[in-house]
Amino acid sequence: PSQAETATESSASASSDPFAFLGDDDGGAEDKTESKKKGPNIGRFLKKVAKSANTQIRQGMTQLAIKADGGKSPDWFVVGVYGSDGNVLSMTDSQPLPLDETRQFNGLRFSVPLSIPGRIAGTETITVKLWVRSGAAWLQSRHFLVGEVPLSVNQLRSASPNFMTLTLQSNMVADGKLFLCATQDLKFPALCGPGWSLADPDQQVAYASNMFHLPLDQSYGLSFPPAPTSWLVATERSVESTIVLPIAAAFSKLAAQAARISLNHADSLALRVHAARHDSTIGNYADCTFNVGYLNFSAQEYRSAAAFCSASWQRPDAIFEVDLLQPARMPTSATTEFQRSLSFRFFPKPVKEGILPGLLHAAGGKMPPIGFFLGSIRLQISVSRHHGNDNLSGQDVELWECVVGLESLLEKSKAEPGTNTPMVLEFPVLSSAGKEMGKISFSVNINMKQGPSIPEKAATAKDGLLSLMGTSPLSDWVQPGLDVVLPETVQQTRQQQQLQTMGNFLTHGFIEYHCKAIRTPDVKELEERAARYNAALTASTPKIPSHEDRDPKPFRPSSSRVEVLLAGLPFNVHTASLSLNVHGQENGVLNVKPSGVFSNVTCGAPSDHARDFGNIFPKPNPNSQAIGLTSPIGSVSGGLRRLEARRAELAKHVSNLQVTLTMQVANFFVAHRQEKSFVNHVPSRHDELQGLRWNLFEAVQSLHHVSWHCAVRRTSCFSQALGTAITSYMASLSDPLKWQSTWPDLWAKHGYLLNYEGLLSAAGKELGMIEDASVGISMLRHVSVILKQDDNEPDPNKVPVVASPYLRWMKLNASHSGMAGTTPEYTLELGIVSTYYEQRIPKALQGGTAVRLYPLLFEVGVDIRQWGANTGEKVKSRLNKGDAENTGEKVDTPAVSVLDDEDKDTEGIADDDVLVEINYEAYNKLNAYAHLISPANSVTSTSAQKIHPLLEKLYQHIVTSAGKMNHEILDEAAALSQQLGGGGVVFCKSGKDRTAMHVTYKQAQYANMFRQRNPAQLSSDGSGSSFENNTIADATTMRVHGTRLPICEKNVGQAKYAFNSLQVKFMPDALRPPMSTLAGFLKGGKIFTGGGIES
């Protein structure tokens, strides 16, 4: 209709009409502009001819056109329909005349129908015209009239279907016949009819607002060999889904709530870690001021020695000390009055739990009278007998120490109340052998104080984001427990008990940074996402071009991939259906017989494009190094699958460091005991052990950093995957051939099989997209769907499904133990109108039956990037550099590399093995499902795995697929999924180019399989073409005339596939688009501005 409306505009705009040249009576023979091309100018020649000779000239020129190059190139025919005003209404596809003149000509069949708009009055007479375009190069831009047939519109509309045989009025064709099948062309399928889905918008209300775009549709008239007098009308539709926005809104709300819990937990943990520090005045603490006076040697031989004093504090629940005073020189003789030589102040916190066994034993196995421990001050004295030695570098340095329990000092200060004068004390200084070497004097002022209060316990991590997303922190028994919820009763291992004595392994600086710089922005982002998505369900928005729209809507264009706000919405989602209807006669009665529906969901890759795929750690800088936020395993980048692998690598690194540290500490204690020196601490000056401990700090903090990023990234990938999965389930649930069969019983028992077919290349950013999709899709295994009868009961957790004829609301719940790392279970409830629920929901799915999703992901790269990944970097380099190495000449680098896309890869990694791994994982799952659905005797492979007979061909494709672009994997997997009652989702990066090639091939394959009842007659030209050739030919027609080019326009503003001629050469034959539909090399140029080309 839009084409027809354009064609009926005034003659002033005829130049913009793509079919204007077909609107002239002289068959386009009159050229209105001067030709600048070489060769015969047919227009100038015809201008000189008398009008009375027009008929003869037209016939002669038509014959000349057909014979222009002696039949070396095919001549192309096309049919157009014209209104009574002479303007074109619509055109068919072009069909070639057979090259072999000796072969009998059996006629031409045009697949793309002529469309008569409803605005054309029934009293009008229209004209159907047959045109020919010569295969000769110098005539290829001209069309010539062969013949025409006038028709009454009322005659066409008298019945549906209406079969006609009409005589072609022509001066050059004798006894030409035009066979027509006239039928209604429904843009909107009947509710519950073929091609309709429960996820489709309600045509009565949905398109009155700007929330949904009109469906895209195209019909094709195909031959039906089993019934030669019948026609097979295939109707292709692409319809937006009503379910994706409500699902994204519901899940974003869950994710935002969970992320807020995690942030509050981390904030409270940061407060407690800060409060436990020796320099913090938060909560209940002891204000301790130490003033060191002098050292008085016992032995005369040390009277001239130099002494240096340092101080450290040992918490009563940890073996590692904290530095309080760096080594500084102190006096070694007494004066008449105490004089301060060195001073430090700190604020130890009272500890009542987790006291070190040795410390508790020394206190008689019970708490001191004050009811808590404060720890110990250790004054370490470094003595050099050379008085002038100020750097302690000599070999004669001796280490002595004095240990003072803070509890005894506090008790002593309480025994002398009413005075603020510091206590001046002398304590013995002992050598490493335990011999008293002298006394050290110091004054101490210690008082208990109360600072800003802190909660008794940190806010719980239960039901936090890591719990919701099933992301284990992988750091149990590391204090403090960030994002960890431990069982109430658990038996600790010896190593875990040892780790508990080593203090915290997270710095306050790290937690504070992580909360402010990472968690807070992420939480705000998720909360804004939830608020905007829920508001969008009822908000009205201005109408703007779809490819420029950045508001949350059911349709999200691929040009919005990097929009952070829209990251939870799947993009470019359509239910792509092909419904088949046989138009024919049965017992003399004209009828239309619905014969089958083939549905897929098409979309862009379920990936967090907004976060990109680069290194998630900040570039090394003094701040990141100070807080310990540096990766001990190098760059951590890519999509979820790779990030999770690196996270596991970090967890292993943490575990190894824990083992090393506990062993080294144990060795340290054993060595001292062998020297008959009892110790229960690790000195702050023990560089090796303190260094090991700091390495563990960095590793644990890096692990938490990666875990959080993985959890946040999962929210986007899972939300997108869930929207496409439920859209597919709704399409299957709406297919009468499925819901009226036994498939629902099998779904209820074994799950709904959901086959994702990815067309991404395992290189660069697309590798990251594969990795994201792999994890997001695998999470669908934990989703169960329950269909419920709408009860009209208010519920704040119900999210409305707007503009759906039968879906009223949905509710998403997550159930889990609340502990991070435990697998969550998601339950999606869909409220359905009572009448539909009672009449069309199978009994097996009623009564609260939960159907679990059974997702699979098969991946095959099908473009030049995958070829580059398979062939290697050397070949890619030669493609870009030319033959410079062979000739020795410098080759100019083109302005635009043919291997680049609009997204510059920051991580140019290629990993062909990941495709084999993913496909093998999917095969194993599909094999298990096939055995559940259809138990059968199995063939045993070399790996002793039982192969279901249905999957033998798929198995062979996968085991031989390394280094190949084996599109048959996707083809076979899709066919098996269809056989097993499953649904299909097809995606590439944008969901519009490679996806278009694949889904049109699948649709054409389905139509030809239906027609294969008599395969010998499938060829319309009598050549006996193979099934594959017919399939590719029909797919090509759909790629040119179907819904996929308009989808490209919806996404990027241009109806072109984002390929160039070089890229096409590397694609499988079944997926190659027609050259006329390619965007070419004009990336970022005049035609495709704004980054329209995406692959």
Residue 740 has a CB neighbour count (10 Å cut-off) of 11
Within 13 Å, how many C-alpha atoms sit on residue 1065's CB side? Answer: 7
How would DSSP label each residue in 907-963? S--B-THHHHHHHHHHHHHHHHHHHHHS----EE-TT-PEEPGGGHHHHHHHHT-TT
Tens digits of residue pLDDT in 723-771 = 999 999 999 999 988 998 999 999 999 999 999 999 999 888 999 999 9
pLDDT of res. 872: 56
pLDDT of res. 1026: 77
Between CA 304 and CA 302 the distance in angstroms is: 5
pLDDT of res. 19: 42
In this model, does residue 624 exceed pLDDT 90? no
In this model, does residue 971 exceed pLDDT 80? yes
pLDDT of res. 1087: 44
Buried/exposed code over 1053-1092 (b: 16+ C-beta within 10 A; e: otherwise): bbebbbbbeebbebbbebbbbeeebbbbebbeeeebeeeb
pLDDT of res. 54: 45
Range with the lowest mean pLDDT among 82-86, 137-141, 360-364, 992-996? Answer: 137-141
In this model, does residue 464 exceed pLDDT 90? yes
Q: How much is the average pLDDT of 710-715?
A: 97
Confidence band for 1085, pLDDT divided at 50, 70 and 90: very low
User: For the chain, what is the mean pLDDT?
Assistant: 83
Q: Are 512 and 520 in contact (CB under 8 A)?
A: no
Q: Are 227 and 582 in contact (CB under 8 A)?
A: yes
pLDDT of res. 306: 87
pLDDT of res. 38: 43
Within 13 Å, how many C-alpha atoms sit on residue 68's CB side? Answer: 24
Name the pairing type of β-strands 752-758 and 850-859.
parallel
Confidence band for 642, pLDDT divided at 50, 70 and 90: very high
In this model, does residue 23 exceed pLDDT 70? no
What is the number of residues in the chain? 1095
pLDDT of res. 53: 43
Proportion of the chain above pLDDT 70, given as a percent: 81
In this model, does residue 31 exceed pLDDT 50? no
Confidence band for 343, pLDDT divided at 50, 70 and 90: very high
pLDDT of res. 214: 93
* Higher local confidence (pLDDT), 46 or 604: 604
Q: How much is the average pLDDT of 684-693?
A: 91
Between CA 417 and CA 413 the distance in angstroms is: 7
Tens digits of residue pLDDT in 88-127 = 999 999 888 765 555 556 788 899 999 998 889 988 999 9
Between CA 609 and CA 769 the distance in angstroms is: 8
Tokens for 1092, please give them.
């329209």
Tens digits of residue pLDDT in 759-812 = 999 888 999 999 999 999 999 999 999 999 998 899 999 999 999 999 999 999
Q: How much is the average pLDDT of 885-907?
A: 40
Residue by residue, what is the 3-state secondary structure of 339-355? CCCEEEEECCCCECCCC
pLDDT of res. 485: 79
Between CA 1017 and CA 230 the distance in angstroms is: 14
In this model, does residue 64 exceed pLDDT 60? no
pLDDT of res. 67: 53
First to last CA, the chain: 31
Confidence band for 905, pLDDT divided at 50, 70 and 90: very low
Tens digits of residue pLDDT in 123-161 = 899 999 999 887 765 555 678 899 999 999 988 888 777
Confidence band for 499, pLDDT divided at 50, 70 and 90: confident
pLDDT of res. 1017: 45
Closest CA to 772 of 610, 635, 901, 1000: 610
Give Cβ neighbours of residue 109 (< 8 Å, ≥ 6 apart).
95, 221, 223, 1020
Confidence band for 819, pLDDT divided at 50, 70 and 90: low
Range with the lowest mean pLDDT among 38-47, 534-543, 995-1004? Answer: 38-47
Q: Are 170 and 146 in contact (CB under 8 A)?
A: yes
Confidence band for 188, pLDDT divided at 50, 70 and 90: confident
* Higher local confidence (pLDDT), 624 or 891: 624
Confidence band for 456, pLDDT divided at 50, 70 and 90: confident
* Higher local confidence (pLDDT), 1075 or 496: 1075
pLDDT of res. 871: 61
pTM, 2 dp: 0.86
Q: How much is the average pLDDT of 39-59?
A: 43
Which runs of consecutive H residues, i.e. helices, occur in 327-438? 357-362, 406-415
Confidence band for 358, pLDDT divided at 50, 70 and 90: confident
- Amino acid in the structure at residue 143: H
